[in-house]
C-alpha cells in the first residue's frame, strides 16, 4: 500500500488523481489533501477518502470548513502556507502529488522535497520560478521527482534507460488550443468563454487560457530545461492538433521515440504513482484503424508571442522566469475578469519583464520578492 498526499485535490489534476486512486483501492491510500476555497468538493473528498490531515489556503476557508464538518468525522485541519507545507511533509505520506495551480505550489513542494518524499510534480511553476534551487534540493535529499505534465511524463518515458549524451533534441507537442490558425486581428474580440473551449483537454481555467496563448508550452519548455538538464536550444515545440503524441525525443543516430495515448491526464498521473510499473486499463486505447492522420506544424509565435517570451525569460535567467510566471498569472486573471483583452496578455507580460531589474535566483526569498514585485507592478498598471 502506497500512501499519497495530494496538494490541490479539488483542481483538475487533483480530481483526476483521486479518480486513479479510487480505481486501485488496494494499491493506494490517501492520507493528506489540500485545497483552495472549494469547500463543498473538499468535504466530499474527505468523506470518500478519509485522509488524516487536510489543509486549505486561508483562515477564512479553514473556519468555514471546520464549521461544516462533523467533528466526529473530521481529520486534522490546517491552513495557510504552513498548513499546506505540513501536509506536504507529513510522515505518513510516501508520495506527494504537487498539483496546486501557480506560484502557491512552490513552498509546499520544497517542503515535500526536504522531507524526503517522492514528488509527482504537476505544478510546473515550481521549476519555472526556482528550477536551480529545486533541482539542487532534489539532489541534496536524494528525492525521486516524477513529472506529471503529459509532455514531461512522455519525455521521461522516452529517455528512460538511455544516456543523456544519446539525446539530440526534445520536442514538446502542443495542441494549438482553440485558436489554432487564427491571426492577431481575429483575436481582438475574444471572450474568456471562447478561450476556455479547449478542443482536446479538460483542464482548469488558468491552464486552459495558458494553452490558448501558448504560454503553457513556454512554461513547459522551461520546466523541461530543468527536469532533463537540457539546453534551451535543444528543446523545440511542434503544434500537433490531434494531441495523441505527447512528446518526441530525437536521438543522435537520427532515430525518434514518441509516447502516445489518448489525451487523458489519468495516464501520466497513474504512471507517476506506479513507476516503474504500469497500472491496468487507466486510459482508453487508441483505435488505430480510425485515425485519419497525425499532423505537425511550427508554432506561430507572431500571433502567440507568449512562447517567445518564455524562451527569452530563461535566456535572461535569474529572477526573470519568476517575473514571467507571476505577470502571466495576474494577466490571465485580469483577462478572465474582463479587465484586459486576449491580445493584451503578452503585451502586459512583456511590459513587466522589460521593467524588471534581474537578480540572481539563488535564494528563495529573492525569488518570492521578484514574484511579489511583478504582481504589484502589473496590478498598479491595470488600475491606473
53, 159: one domain: no
pTM metric for this prediction: 0.92
In a domain, 59, yes or no: yes
Task: Say how far apart CA 99 and CA 147 lie, in whole Å.
Answer: 11
Burial (CB < 10 A; 0-12, 13-18, 19+), residue 236, is middle
Average pLDDT over residues 309-331: 96
For residues 68 and 43, is the Cβ–Cβ distance under 8 A?
Answer: yes
Strands 167-174, 245-251: pairing kind: antiparallel
Q: What is the band of 72 on the pLDDT scale with cuts at 50, 70, 90?
A: low
112, 156: one domain: no
pLDDT at 108 over 60: yes
373, 278: one domain: yes
pLDDT at residue 202 in the model: 66
168, 71: one domain: no
208, 353: one domain: yes
**Residue 247 domain boundaries:** 152-382
61, 166: one domain: no
In a domain, 131, yes or no: no
In a domain, 188, yes or no: yes
115-140 pLDDT, tens digit per residue, is 999 999 998 889 999 999 999 999 99
pLDDT at 9 over 90: yes
Burial (CB < 10 A; 0-12, 13-18, 19+), residue 94, is middle
In a domain, 197, yes or no: yes
Burial (CB < 10 A; 0-12, 13-18, 19+), residue 257, is middle
174-207 pLDDT, tens digit per residue, is 998 899 999 999 999 989 998 888 777 667 788 8
In a domain, 141, yes or no: no
77-105 pLDDT, tens digit per residue, is 999 999 999 999 999 999 999 999 888 89
The CATH number for 83's domain is 3.40.50.720
Burial 347-370 (b: 16+ CB within 10 A, else e): ebbbbbbeebeebebeebebbbeb
In a domain, 135, yes or no: no
82, 189: one domain: no
Mean pLDDT across the chain, nearest whole number? Answer: 94
Largest CA distance in the chain: 63
The CATH number for 360's domain is 1.10.1740.10
169, 46: one domain: no
Q: How many domains does the chain have?
A: 2
Q: What is the band of 144 on the pLDDT scale with cuts at 50, 70, 90?
A: very high
Q: What is the band of 329 on the pLDDT scale with cuts at 50, 70, 90?
A: very high
pLDDT at residue 71 in the model: 63
| Alpha helical stretches, state H, 50-79 | 59-68
Name which of 15-24, 71-80, 194-203, 374-383 the model is least confident about: 194-203
Average pLDDT over residues 340-350: 96
> Which single residue is written with the C-alpha cell 489543509?
55
For residues 333 and 373, is the Cβ–Cβ distance under 8 A?
Answer: no
Amino acid at each position: 500500500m502506497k500512501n499519497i498526499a495530494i496538494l490541490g485535490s479539488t483542481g483538475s489534476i487533483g480530481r483526476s488523481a483521486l479518480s486513479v486512486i479510487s480505481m486501485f483501492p488496494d494499491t493506494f491510500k490517501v492520507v493528506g489533501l489540500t485545497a483552495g476555497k472549494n469547500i463543498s468538493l473538499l468535504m466530499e473528498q474527505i468523506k470518500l477518502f478519509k485522509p488524516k490531515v487536510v489543509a486549505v489556503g486561508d483562515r477564512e476557508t479553514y473556519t468555514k470548513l471546520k464549521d461544516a464538518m462533523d467533528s466526529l468525522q473530521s481529520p486534522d485541519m490546517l491552513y495557510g502556507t504552513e498548513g499546506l507545507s505540513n501536509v506536504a511533509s507529513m510522515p505518513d505520506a510516501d508520495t506527494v502529488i504537487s498539483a496546486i495551480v501557480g506560484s502557491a505550489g512552490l513552498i509546499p513542494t520544497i517542503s515535500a522535497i526536504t522531507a524526503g518524499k517522492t514528488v509527482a510534480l504537476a505544478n510546473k511553476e515550481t521549476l519555472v520560478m526556482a528550477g536551480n534551487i529545486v533541482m539542487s534540493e532534489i539532489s541534496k535529499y536524494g528525492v525521486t521527482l516524477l513529472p506529471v505534465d503529459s509532455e514531461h511524463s512522455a519525455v521521461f518515458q522516452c529517455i528512460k534507460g538511455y544516456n543523456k549524451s544519446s539525446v539530440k533534441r526534445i520536442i514538446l507537442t502542443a495542441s494549438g488550443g482553440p485558436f489554432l490558425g487564427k491571426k492577431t486581428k481575429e483575436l481582438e474580440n475574444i471572450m474568456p468563454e471562447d478561450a476556455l473551449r479547449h478542443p482536446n483537454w479538460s483542464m482548469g481555467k488558468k491552464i486552459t487560457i495558458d494553452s490558448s496563448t501558448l504560454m503553457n508550452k513556454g512554461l513547459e519548455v522551461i520546466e523541461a530545461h530543468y527536469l532533463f538538464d537540457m539546453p534551451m536550444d535543444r528543446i523545440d515545440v511542434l503544434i500537433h492538433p490531434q494531441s495523441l503524441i505527447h512528446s518526441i525525443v530525437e536521438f543522435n543516430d537520427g532515430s525518434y521515440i514518441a509516447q502516445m495515448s489518448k489525451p487523458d491526464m489519468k495516464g501520466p498521473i497513474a504512471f507517476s504513482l506506479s513507476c516503474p510499473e504500469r497500472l491496468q486499463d487507466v486510459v482508453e486505447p487508441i483505435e488505430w484503424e480510425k485515425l485519419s492522420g497525425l499532423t505537425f506544424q511550427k508554432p506561430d509565435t507572431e500571433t502567440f508571442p507568449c512562447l517567445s517570451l518564455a524562451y527569452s525569460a530563461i535566456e535572461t535567467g535569474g529572477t526573470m522566469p519568476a517575473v514571467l510566471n507571476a505577470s502571466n498569472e495576474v494577466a490571465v486573471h485580469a483577462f478572465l475578469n474582463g479587465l484586459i483583452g486576449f491580445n493584451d496578455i503578452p503585451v502586459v507580460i512583456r511590459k513587466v519583464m522589460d521593467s524588471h531589474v534581474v537578480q540572481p535566483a539563488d535564494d528563495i526569498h529573492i525569488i518570492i520578492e521578484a514574484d511579489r514585485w511583478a504582481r504589484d507592478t502589473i496590478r498598479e498598471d491595470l488600475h491606473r
